[in-house]
Structure 1
Amino acid sequence: DSYTIENSEGMSYREFTNLFLPYSPTDSVELKLRHYLKIDQDDIMWGKLLELNLFDSKKIIPIKNASPAQMLQKVLEDSWTMAHDDKDMIVMYHKFGYKLNGEKQQLDANMVVIGENHTHTAMAKTVGLPVAIATLLILNKKIATPGVQIPISKEVYGPILKELATFGVVFKEYHVPYLGYNPDSVAG
């Protein structure tokens, strides 16, 4: 982030993208990027790059002496910023295989959290709430273990999970027949 591009202000998204590609007197920015990334024009990844407007010569970077990271952040924020009434969604699925008394078992757990709007997002709930809850528990001396802790101690994760449930952040667990690491594999 310490490297800056002197003439970044006023540079188009297309020019920004081209900064990182080899010079060619004949190939377009699009062709050079597809070649560099080794993706075809009909590849789904190409469609995702097009959605970012990386080749737009009318969209302009407004930041003076920006670092490449700041410029990329501007490009991504233009495409990925949520509208006022947009909602995000977090979907997680975990499959745990284990042995209990010599018998193979499986536990599937899933969670779906839907944000309310562009401010009260599912991402904020699932990332910010656990940190805020842990902070309050430490301040109120309900977590007393000193130092930096990872949430593997029941003293830490227990009250946090309980509080998260009041905000709708909860995993649903299902005991299912053991399918192995890859259920399509014969070995299982």
Structure 2
Amino acid sequence: MPKILLLGSGFVAGPCAEYLARNPSNTLTVACRTSASASAFCSSIPRATPLVLDVAAADTTELEAAVAAHDLVISLVPYIYHATVIQAAIKGKTHVVTTSYISPAIQALDTAARDAGIVVLNEAGLDPGIDHLYAVKIIDEVHAKGGKVKEFHLSCGAFPAPECASTNPLQYKFSWSPRGVLLAHLNSSSFLSSGSVVEIAGADLMARAQPTTISGFPHALEMFPNRDSVPFREFYRIPEAHTVVRGTLRYAGFPAFMAALIKLGWLATDVKDWLVDGLTWAEATQRACGASGSDESALVARIVQLCTFPSTAEEERILAAMRWVGLFSSEKLVVSRGTLLDTLCARLEALMQYQPGERDLILMEQKYGVEWADGKQETIVATLEEYGTPGGTSAMARTVGVPCGIACQLVLDGVFSTPGIHAPYTKEYCDPIRELLDGEGLLLVERVL
């Protein structure tokens, strides 16, 4: 019976475990930092056993023993720990699946993984993941017909369904790691535009968000570039492309609010000695941004000095959102990890939870600017619009967890058997995953404009 170790029981782990539990041969060990979390997760999963394990522990002895005792490990912990997990898997000769990008630290383990004879499959989620499955398919089909992909655009976002978005002024709620969400707004990015590489520093990313539309979706959206898009011209084998952009979607207005938080220093990740329990939120905002005082008028004056607002109405909107978060309040804050980012993260997580009866939304759209051999030009569009189930599985969990579960089963079944560090950039990986994913109802709808 294949033995699977699942590291993490967070937002997206459920559908992955449920998919693997469909196979009566599979047994699952779910490892969390606390017994309560592991036991609660396992209570609804057949043949699942809880395990207390801290992947972040300096001593990796327990991690290595747990990994070695299984045939495959699924790493759904924060991406910074993936390399540690893979190192343990190399020692234990255990296959690995993650839903994260291949980092330099992971890529550096390729030779060791090949020597150990293990498959390490990454980017097996939504974005990255489902996006690759359709990009490879559509690009291969265009090339097979003699066409060229001159432009590639990807937009993907996770947010509340429109009817649930108006319950807070940020129009956002957390369907995955709140810390990961906030940090994603600080990533530096680069993309290819009309043959030139455009680079954006992380501190400037939110200010570069642009209005965009998704076919058939009537609500105002904005898109900002997601990490480094440039290598995907090579990954997707489209050397003819002059534009390659992968972006993240948010409801209009959210990036401007995040840009203001960045200007104020609230997304700083370094430990602040002055940030201690007992400070008020207003005092912390004063220290973070260098205001002359902690009264609201002094804070607002400093914010207006630091931030550029296109209109008085936009200024008032963002200030109102800050009041809603409590950044001007006399309430005592509780410090998390000694950083402004983590302290704010805990606050937002409490304020921006999904309530009973609410549902989330995943939007993904790919656009291909195609030039055919006869000179004709077309735009191929592939769209995914997936809603969560109120009181049940979120769209985020389903679109990340199900592809991850499928990828794990394909590794266990030997469909993916080439040792080393991999991502689904070829038909060898994309076709088997996509065919099973289509059977789960998770598919992009394609059409030609």
Category of TM-score, reference length = shorter chain:
0.7 to 0.9
AA at the equivalent of 1:83 = Q
Match of 2:358 among 78, 83, 86: 86
TM normalised by structure 1 equals 0.77
Q: Which of 336, 339, 342 lines up with 1:70 in the alignment?
A: 342
User: Which residue of structure 2 lines up, in the alignment, with residue 33 of structure 1?
Assistant: 303
Alignment of 1:19-168 (within 5 A): 19-25=287-293, 27-39=297-309, 40-43=311-314, 46=318, 47-58=320-331, 60-63=332-335, 66-102=338-374, 103-117=376-390, 120-168=393-441
Which amino acid is 2:314 matched to? D
**Post-superposition offset of 1:111:** 0.9
CA distance in structure 1 between the partners assigned to 2:273 and 2:392 by the alignment: 32
Q: Which runs of 5+ in 1 are unaligned?
A: 177-188
Q: 1:33 to 1:127 in 2, by over 3 A?
A: farther
CA contact (8 A) 2:362 2:387 kept: yes
What's the counterpart of residue 180 of structure 1?
none
* C-alpha displacement of 1:96: 0.9
Equivalent in the alignment of 2:447: 174
Question: Post-superposition shift, 1:7?
Answer: 4.7
Kept in 2, the 8 Å contact 1:9–1:63? The answer is yes
Structure 1 letter corresponding to 2:304: R
C-alpha RMSD over aligned residues: 2.7
* AA of the residue aligned to 1:23: A
Report the CA distance shift for 1:41/1:53 in structure 2 as closer, same or farther (over 3 A): farther
Distance change >3 Å, CA 74–CA 30, structure 1 → 2: farther
Is there any run of 5+ residues in structure 2 with no aligned partner, and where?
Answer: 1-268
Alpha carbons of 1:143 and 1:48: their partners in 2 closer, same or farther (altered >3 Å)? farther
Deviates more, 1:35-44 or 1:73-82: 35-44
Which protein has the larger Cα radius of gyration, Structure 1 or Structure 2? 1
Provide the secondary structure at the position in 1 that maps to 2:442.
Answer: coil
Match of 2:54 in 1: none
Question: Which stretch shifts more, 3-12 or 154-163?
Answer: 3-12
- Equivalent pairs, count: 175
Which of residues 257, 280, 295 is equivalent to 1:12?
Answer: 280
CA contact (8 A) 1:7 1:64 kept: no
Give the C-alpha shift of residue 43 in structure 1: 0.7
**Aligned pair in 2 of structure 1 residues 93, 156: CA closer, same or farther (>3 Å)?**
same
Change (3 A) 1:171 1:6: same
Give the partner amino acid of 1:37.
C
Contact 1:85–1:117, Cα closer than 8 Å, also in 2: yes
Q: Which amino acid aligns with 1:91?
A: L
Decide whether the 8 Å contact of 1:29 with 1:55 is kept in 2.
yes
The 1-side partners of 2:306 and 2:389 are apart by: 40
Letter in 2 for 1:72: L
Q: Is the 8 A contact 1:88 1:114 kept in 2?
A: yes
Residue 172 and residue 65 in structure 1: after superposition, are their counterparts in 2 closer, same or farther (change >3 A)?
Answer: closer
Tell me the SS of whatever aligns to 2:371: strand
How many Å separate the matches in 2 of 1:169 and 1:67?
38
Deviation string for 1:17-71 (max 9, x for gaps)? 222112325852133223212225411761544443332333x433466222211
Alpha-carbon distance in structure 2 between the residues aligned to 1:136 and 1:17 = 48
CA 1:120–1:108 in structure 2 vs 1: closer, same or farther (change >3 Å)? same
How far apart, CA to CA, are the structure 1 residues paired with 2:390 and 2:272? 35
Offset at residue 82 of structure 1 (A): 1.4
Where does residue 48 of structure 2 map in the other structure? none
